[in-house]
Amino acid sequence: MIFVGVQGAGKSTFYRERFFDTHVRINLDMLRTRHRERLLLEACLAAGQRFVVDNTNPTAADRARYVIPARQHGFRVVAYFFDVDLRDAMRRNQQRPGAKNIPAVGVTATFRRLQPPAAAEGFDRILVVRVNDANEFGMTEQF
């Protein structure tokens, strides 16, 4: 599973609600370096362990570092695209405590770079996730 979306889109909350008990979470904020992230990814791939990449992953190039090796190891690769408007993401981001609150310029920069995932990247499925006013998740399948 590869999450795609700006900061404040609900990715980590979605992970906790849907995948906490079944998938290892690969998250750069938690691991702090690409080296540690790569080690955990490689361990999951070698063990056949299901995982979720819980990062912003705004571009196809960002996502390729996970899609390509996952496909090479026989994983089905599913993108979850968190489709949120910038205003809602900023509002939710402002509610985050301390260092989890990303400066507005960072959220805006990610939003501008954001490319929706495409089948040509190697995804088996793409699901679009939206959050309603009651902070409930809804999904539609893109293909």
Interval 1-47: pLDDT, tens: 999 999 989 999 999 999 999 999 999 989 999 999 999 999 999 99
Write the class of the CATH domain 2-141: alpha beta
pLDDT of 99 > 90? The answer is: no
Higher pLDDT, 100 or 9: 9
Sequence-ordered list of residues with C-beta below 8 angstroms from that of 69, at least 6 positions apart, any chain:
41, 42, 45
| pLDDT reported for residue 104 | 85
| pLDDT reported for residue 143 | 67
| pLDDT reported for residue 92 | 84
| pLDDT reported for residue 109 | 95
Domain residue limits, the chain:
2-141
**pTM listed for this prediction:** 0.93
- The highest-confidence range among 25-34, 89-98, 99-108, by mean pLDDT, is 25-34
